[in-house]
Chains A and B, each alone.
Chain A
Amino acid sequence: MYDLLNVKGLKTAFKNNNQRVSVVNGVDFGINKGEIVGIVGESGCGKSVTSLSIMRLLHDTTGDIQDGKVTFKGENLLDLSERSMRKIRGKEIAMIFQEPMTSLNPVMKIGKQLMQGIILHLKYSKEKAKKHAIDTLKSVGIPRAEDIMNEYPHQLSGGMRQRVMIAIAMSCEPELLIADEPTTALDVTIQAQILELMKRLQSDRGTAILMITHDLGVVAEVCDRVIVMYAGRVVEEASVDELFESPRHPYTKDLIESVPKIGERKSRLYSIPGHVPNPNQMPNGCKFAPRCQHAMEICFNKEPELTSEEKRKHRCWLYQQNNVGREQNLGSK
């Protein structure tokens, strides 16, 4: 049990041509107070849907949560009424999104967008909210905060907009910040600044962060613990150091392998063969087996359980106890 958020058996399905397709299929993980946890995986592995499910923000999609528990500070968010959920969103759990260009209302002044949440959740008067808004903008490193209050999003650069997004998210001092690919749309130097900022906010205010990304560089930079997702399932969980030092799951190894390294000249970049399986044509057994270099017979027939080994977890037959084929299979690479 983790002391802030516990996700247990989360299952989210989307309706597609009158067919229910599970995109997130029994995801378990948790976050402690003040911890930075990363969720990594390729596009389509269900990491964004997981975060939207936690926030119950699937309104405008065809998706809905089928099963599971999302316990936040001892309360199952999935049992809350929409009204009580609105009091959690933005106040207890805040979220920032990938596209700073389109995630802010283009026709509303920054100040107003920022103050809206503050007035709603913290019940501040207008003047107090304004002062708080300016302070928050300053705290995320925005110069001339007073002027920015009266500007529109299109007058700011991408990095500045993402800072504004962070300011909006942090303005009500949430305990958990979910960041869905916060740096993907930014260029590298700005990425570093934004990550630096998030790390600082975490250490200053003790906000826990759930960092959703496909970028292992980001994970290595900021996270304490990592969850690797594949095809709607958690396949590995470990601390950052353990994960990069000794990845267990072949998928994790491949992910690490496919990151290009500076100074290394390869005729060809490594890429994982094959594709993420289509959610309505999931293979039997381990979902990664068709792409796995170490796949054994059992992998195609039976899906492994998420198994604990000391402080880490993995979902792979190679490491299950009583597994006979382990040695020779590991040796083949």
Chain B
Amino acid sequence: MGKYVIKRIIGIIPLLVVVSFIVFLFIHLIPGDPARLIAGKEATVKEIQAIRHELHLDEPIFQQYLIYMDGLLHGDFGESIKSHIPVMHLIGERMLPSIELSLLSMGWALVFGILIGVLSAVFKNRWPDYGGMVTAVSGISLPNFWLGLVMIQLFSVQLGWLPTGGADSWKGYIMPSIALGAGIMAMIARFTRSSLVQTLKEDFIRTGRSRGLSSMTIVFGHALKSSLIPVVTVAGLQFGFLLGGSVVVETVFSFPGMGRLLIDSIQLRDYPVVQAELLLFSFEFILVNLVVDLLYGFLNPKISYET
């Protein structure tokens, strides 16, 4: 399996090159001239021209790409057009809160999603099932910004328990993670339920019962593992999206995450920042996918990674 992982990681490199090229092209397709935005409304054509030259924007687009890649290969992501702060630094300070928030949201969504899913499957068509599925449907249907606003109103304004926003202490993570995780939890609950309901009909479950195993052992020791493949697939995808940051939730909670940085940079045509962020997202997504694939192998021993 070690060999497989190394192969996959090496495979990421050409993928990233292709991604970088596509991202580069697309960013330059966005209408608007960063030089003009930087120079301001009063600037003369000459001044704008000078800025364009400084940023290599007057070169052919392929040339620009090569210049960018040259920097990248030397570990230089460039600096923000707007603030002249190195991109690495900008992203660096946003990345950690974003990753922490994603992990937290995913963590509780997985724990409660699976728990609700299991309860619903075991008590199929009885009240725990109805209760669980009402929770799940609510989680999917409630818009996360609304949930966020309601929570701010209740826990920050009325009760004063939690800060309205920011990531200064762990308390700042609680509400945004709930807002982000609710939908994912709901999805995981539904997938767990339907998958587990199927597994519980399998012959080996009856074998387990015929051996005197308790329902707890049968559900958690036998059925759950076989049921988790679809759950892992959804969770992996959702985690990838989470890492990209959520503009809406970050805005509601004024959370210093990647999502807002991305939107701000796109609005300013801050090419190097956008470029670096998108590359990072791709990298994270590919990495999450690799982990999901490895989990498949763990969950189903028939999937082998040899050859």
How many A-B residue pairs lie within 8 Å, measured between CB atoms?
Answer: 76
- Please provide the chain B residues from 191 to 226 with a CB less than 8 Å away from any CB of chain A in the complex: 200-214, 217, 221-222, 225-226
Chain B residues with CB below 8 A from A105, complex form: 204, 207-208, 222, 226
Chain B residues with CB below 8 A from A330, complex form: none
Q: In the bound complex, how far is the Cα of B210 from the Cα of A88, in angstroms?
A: 9
Q: Of all chain A residues, which has the CB nearest B300?
A: A107
Chain A residues with CB below 8 A from B222, complex form: 105, 108
Encode contact with A along B279-307: 1 for CB under 8 Å, 0 otherwise. Answer: 00000000000000000000111100000
Chain B count of residues within 8 A CB distance of the other chain? 24
- Please provide the chain A residues from 76 to 113 with a CB less than 8 Å away from any CB of chain B in the complex: 86-91, 94-95, 97, 99, 102-108
> Are A90 and B210 in contact, CB atoms less than 8 angstroms apart?
yes
Residue A29 CB within 8 A of the other chain: no
> Are A89 and B212 in contact, CB atoms less than 8 angstroms apart?
yes
Q: In the bound complex, how far is the Cα of B206 from the Cα of A330, in angstroms?
A: 45
Residue A148 CB within 8 A of the other chain: no
> Are A102 and B204 in contact, CB atoms less than 8 angstroms apart?
yes
Centre residue among A86, A105, A106 by max chain B CB count within 10 A: A105
Q: Which interface class (under 10, 10 to 19, 20 to 34, 35 or more) fits A?
A: 20 to 34
> Are B203 and A90 in contact, CB atoms less than 8 angstroms apart?
no
Closest Cβ of chain A to B306, distance in Å, is 13
Q: Of all chain A residues, which has the CB nearest B208?
A: A105
Q: In the bound complex, how far is the Cα of B204 from the Cα of A134, in angstroms?
A: 21
Chain B residues with CB below 8 A from A107, complex form: 225-226, 299-301
Centre residue among B202, B207, B217, B222 by max chain A CB count within 10 A: B207
> Are B210 and A106 in contact, CB atoms less than 8 angstroms apart?
no
Chain A residues with CB below 8 A from B211, complex form: 89-90, 94, 116-117, 120, 168
List the one stretch of A17-25, A53-61, A308-316 in contact with chain B: A53-61
Centre residue among B201, B208, B222 by max chain A CB count within 10 A: B208
> Are A152 and B203 in contact, CB atoms less than 8 angstroms apart?
no
Q: Of all chain A residues, which has the CB nearest B210?
A: A95
Residue A121 CB within 8 A of the other chain: yes
Q: In the bound complex, how far is the Cα of B210 from the Cα of A154, in angstroms?
A: 21
Q: Of all chain A residues, which has the CB nearest B222?
A: A105
> Are B209 and A97 in contact, CB atoms less than 8 angstroms apart?
no
Q: In the bound complex, how far is the Cα of B225 from the Cα of A152, in angstroms?
A: 14
Chain A residues with CB below 8 A from B210, complex form: 55, 57, 89-90, 94-95, 97
> Are B226 and A89 in contact, CB atoms less than 8 angstroms apart?
no
Chain B residues with CB below 8 A from A60, complex form: 200-201, 205-206
> Are B209 and A57 in contact, CB atoms less than 8 angstroms apart?
yes
> Are B301 and A104 in contact, CB atoms less than 8 angstroms apart?
no
Closest Cβ of chain B to A115, distance in Å, is 11
Closest Cβ of chain A to B44, distance in Å, is 71
Q: In the bound complex, how far is the Cα of B206 from the Cα of A89, in angstroms?
A: 12
Q: In the bound complex, how far is the Cα of B210 from the Cα of A168, in angstroms?
A: 11
Chain A residues with CB below 8 A from B299, complex form: 107
| The one of A121, A152, A165 that contacts B301, using a Cβ cutoff of 8 Å | A152
Chain B residues with CB below 8 A from A97, complex form: 203, 206-207, 210
Q: In the bound complex, how far is the Cα of B212 from the Cα of A237, in angstroms?
A: 31
> Are A120 and B207 in contact, CB atoms less than 8 angstroms apart?
no
Q: In the bound complex, how far is the Cα of B226 from the Cα of A90, in angstroms?
A: 23
> Are B200 and A106 in contact, CB atoms less than 8 angstroms apart?
no
Closest Cβ of chain B to A154, distance in Å, is 5
Closest Cβ of chain B to A262, distance in Å, is 33
Q: Of all chain B residues, which has the CB nearest A151?
A: B301
> Are A99 and B212 in contact, CB atoms less than 8 angstroms apart?
no
Closest Cβ of chain B to A161, distance in Å, is 11
Centre residue among B204, B210, B226 by max chain A CB count within 10 A: B210
> Are B301 and A86 in contact, CB atoms less than 8 angstroms apart?
no
* Known contacts A152-B301, A152-B302, A154-B301; A103 and B204 CB within 8 A of each other: yes
Q: Of all chain B residues, which has the CB nearest A93?
A: B210
Q: In the bound complex, how far is the Cα of B302 from the Cα of A302, in angstroms?
A: 57
Q: In the bound complex, how far is the Cα of B211 from the Cα of A165, in angstroms?
A: 11
Q: Of all chain B residues, which has the CB nearest A180?
A: B210
Q: Of all chain B residues, which has the CB nearest A165?
A: B207
| The one of A87, A89, A108, A116 that contacts B209, using a Cβ cutoff of 8 Å | A89
Chain B residues with CB below 8 A from A103, complex form: 203-204, 206-207
Encode contact with B along A278-291: 1 for CB under 8 Å, 0 otherwise. Answer: 00000000000000
> Are A120 and B203 in contact, CB atoms less than 8 angstroms apart?
no
Chain A residues with CB below 8 A from B213, complex form: 86, 90, 116-117, 120
| The one of B212, B214, B217, B302 that contacts A106, using a Cβ cutoff of 8 Å | B302
What are some 24 contacts across the A-B interface (CB < 8 A)? A59-B209, A60-B201, A86-B214, A88-B212, A90-B213, A94-B211, A97-B203, A97-B210, A99-B203, A102-B202, A103-B203, A106-B226, A107-B226, A107-B300, A107-B301, A108-B222, A116-B211, A117-B211, A117-B212, A121-B212, A152-B301, A154-B302, A168-B207, A168-B211
Name the 9 nearest CB pairs between A and B, nearest first: A90-B212, A90-B211, A89-B212, A102-B203, A95-B210, A86-B212, A152-B301, A105-B204, A103-B207
Given A55-B210, A90-B212, A106-B300, 13 additional A-B pairs, CB 8 A: A57-B209, A89-B209, A97-B206, A102-B204, A105-B204, A107-B225, A107-B226, A108-B222, A116-B213, A117-B213, A120-B212, A154-B301, A154-B302
